[in-house]
Amino acid sequence: MGRVRIIPVLLLNKGGLYKTVNFKNARYIGDPINSVKIFNEKEADELLLLDYTASVEKRGPDFAKIGEIAGEAFMPMAYGGGIRTLDDAKKVFDSGFEKVVLNSVLFEDLSLIEKIGAIYGAQAVVGCIDVKKSLLGGTKAYSFSGTKKSSFTPLQWAKKLEEAGVGEIIINSIDKDGTWSGYAVDVISEVSHSVKVPVIACGGAGSPDDLKQAVAAGASAVAAGSMFVYQKKGMGVLISFPSTLQIQK
Amino acid sequence: MLAIINYGLGNLTSIKNMCRRLGIDATITSDPETIRSASKLLLPGVGHFKKGMENLHSSGLKPLLDELVLVQKKPILGICLGAQLMTKHSEEGDVEGLGWVDAKTVRFDQSKDNLMKVPHMGWSEITTTNANPLWSNLPSDPRFYFVHTYHFQFDEPGEISATCNYSYDFVCAFQKGNIYGTQFHPEKSHKFGMKVLENFNQL
């Protein structure tokens, strides 16, 4: 079916870019505008910008900042973080983004998907499922940056999101985030074989082989943070996107 | 001046951003006089076909565009939904389009392939099928960003200017005289898209 999208994930917080490990220990990476310029020069397939503290801190998107970031990007851009209403989504689109990413708000109001989709199309609405395993509780979907556990398994929640009309689903593993140890391929495989919409694997990528494994497991696209913002595991910041990196499906 | 037509839907800012980078004088507008005075028109769009047509009707832009495009023959480029709106009808909302080209807009046929995921989202290579001015001096291995659930289906093969494959071959660009349309997003397709917008601006 062609070239698989490889998507750098940029975590935004108070105007700066950060990288987390297991959704914690955020480390400062650099200035978002400069980083986006690099991904633009390197012709990255797409960018995913997440203001990961917005919902936790009960604030909306920083529209001025994200608009400035999108102005430097001649590739598809998705934004998530603090979107609570149709009007929030509208402002994100007006800032130059193609897609809005929703998570926390959906546990209170699934109908927001349909409201946005009716105007901007289903392809513009991305549902993000943050996934975490616990010893007794099994694997569950989380919200508010991994601080709030739901009663749904990733598969149950993915089905709900699909039914509600999302255009694609991100499976983001909290356990794998920032670990360079490979994606949560079990969950990715389970979900991508049970929904008709594209699934984006996120969390844990450390090498091109990891990306390929997620695709083999059923992912339609692969997202990664550490791999594109660090030189290597445990080493310094180096924003990059290898132009030779390509996966066919 | 290139008028980026604002009918309440679409990736207007992205297009404006790319025009700014290319040094193209572009204005986002819904004002009839501004649109009338533009040398070229751009009909963007991301969203629902039915909503798009409703907005073109309720804003009064439809008769103006019909006149500028069909009578005055101003060059116009439709992007994604903007291009789909130029067809006669869409399955999305089961409504009539502008009907400028001999095509309709249909949903990807998932019955042809069980593994097919819709929307078609991502970068795909295109195959150009005629010497369309939009394709002149494209960088090699042209690829473009697509995100769509519906695609054009042409009754008049002469109007097809490029195809793409997603599980099956579909038409991804067309030209009928002064009317150009692309299913993909030039404004989100790096140097490939920049060339297409630059070519359109130089028509």
Q: What is B105-164 written as a DSSP string?
A: EEE--GGG-TT--SSEEEEEEEEE-S--GGGTTPPSS-EEEEEESEEEEES-GGGEEEEE
Residue of chain A minimizing CA distance to B20: A71
DSSP-derived 3-state class of residue B30: coil
Is the CB of residue A70 less than 8 Å away from at least one CB of chain B?
Answer: yes
Burial A138-173 (b: 16+ CB within 10 A, else e): ebbbbbbbbeeebebbbbebbbbbbebbbbbbbbbb
* Integer Cα distance of A224 and A227 in angstroms: 6
Cβ of A5 within 8 Å of Cβ of B46? The answer is no
Cβ of A196 within 8 Å of Cβ of B190? The answer is no
Alpha helices in chain A (DSSP H): 32-41, 63-70, 86-94, 111-120, 154-164, 185-192, 208-216, 226-229
- Chain B, residues 143-172, CB within 8 A of chain A, namely 143, 145, 147-149, 165-167
Give yes or no for a contact between A8 and A224, defined as CB atoms under 8 angstroms apart: yes
Rounded to 10 degrees, the C-alpha dihedral A87/A93/A94/A96 comes to: 160
Q: What proportion of chain A, given as a percentage, has pLDDT over 70?
A: 100
CA-to-CA dists, residue B155 to A36, B79, B107, angstroms: 42, 20, 16
* Integer Cα distance of B154 and B105 in angstroms: 9
Residue of chain B minimizing CA distance to A46: B122
CA angle A234, A238, A241 (to 5 degrees): 115
**Which has the closest alpha carbon to B29: B4, B54, B8, B12?**
B4
* Integer Cα distance of A157 and A199 in angstroms: 13
CA distance B73 to chain A (A): 29
B187 is catalytic: yes
Q: Which of A98, A113, A126 to mutate to test the interface with B (most CBs of B within 10 A)?
A: A98
pLDDT band with cut points at 50, 70 and 90 for residue B9: confident
Residue of chain B minimizing CA distance to A114: B48
Is the CB of residue A7 less than 8 Å away from at least one CB of chain B?
Answer: no
Average pLDDT, chain A: 94
Q: Is the pLDDT of residue B82 over 90?
A: yes
Alpha carbon B122 to its chain centroid, in Å, reads 17
Instruction: Using an 8 Å CB-CB cutoff, list chain A residues near B187.
Output: 74
* Integer Cα distance of B129 and A187 in angstroms: 42
ipTM over 0.85: no
User: Tell me, what's the pLDDT at A82?
Assistant: 97
- Give 3-state DSSP helix, strand, coil % of chain B, rounded to 5: 35, 30, 35
pLDDT band with cut points at 50, 70 and 90 for residue B162: very high
Six token digits for residue A123: 């392809």
- Give 3-state DSSP helix, strand, coil % of chain A, rounded to 5: 30, 30, 40
CA distance B129 to chain A (A): 20
Q: Shortest CB distance from A74 goes to which of B18, B148, B149?
A: B18
Average pLDDT, chain B: 94
Is the CB of residue B47 less than 8 Å away from at least one CB of chain A?
Answer: yes
Range B157-169 average pLDDT: 95
Segment-wise mean pLDDT, segments of 10 residues, chain A, 249 residues: 88 95 95 93 94 95 95 94 97 93 97 92 93 90 96 98 96 97 97 94 96 96 94 87 81
Burial class (CB in 10 A: 0-12, 13-18, 19+), B25: exposed
Q: What proportion of chain B, given as a percentage, has pLDDT over 70?
A: 100
Choice among A88, A130, A177, A210 that is catalytic: A130
Give yes or no for a contact between A129 and A107, defined as CB atoms under 8 angstroms apart: no
Tell me the pTM: 0.90
CA angle A226, A98, A94 (to 5 degrees): 115
User: Tell me, what's the pLDDT at A245?
Assistant: 80
Pairing verdict, β A5-13 and A221-224: parallel
The helix-helix angle for A86-94 and A111-120 (nearest 10°) equals: 40
The pLDDT tens digits for A67-108 are 999 998 999 999 999 999 999 999 999 999 999 999 999 999
User: Tell me, what's the pLDDT at A1?
Assistant: 57
User: Tell me, what's the pLDDT at A121?
Assistant: 83
Residue A102's contacts (CB-CB under 8 Å, 6 or more residues apart) are A80, A83, A112, A113, A125, A126, A127, A128, A166
The helix-helix angle for A185-192 and A154-164 (nearest 10°) equals: 40
Instruction: Using an 8 Å CB-CB cutoff, list chain A residues near B4.
Output: none
Quick count: other Cβ atoms within 10 Å of Cβ A81?
29
Question: Positive or negative, the Cα torsion across A62, A66, A67, A69?
Answer: positive
Choice among B19, B80, B164, B172 that is catalytic: B80
Q: Shortest CB distance from B17 goes to which of A4, A71, A124?
A: A71
Instruction: Using an 8 Å CB-CB cutoff, list chain B residues near A70.
Output: 13-14, 17
User: Tell me, what's the pLDDT at B140?
Assistant: 86
* Integer Cα distance of A159 and A171 in angstroms: 13
Rounded to 10 degrees, the C-alpha dihedral A75/A81/A82/A84 comes to: 60
Cβ of A2 within 8 Å of Cβ of B9? The answer is no
Instruction: Using an 8 Å CB-CB cutoff, list chain A residues near B193.
Output: 74
Cβ of B118 within 8 Å of Cβ of A5? The answer is no
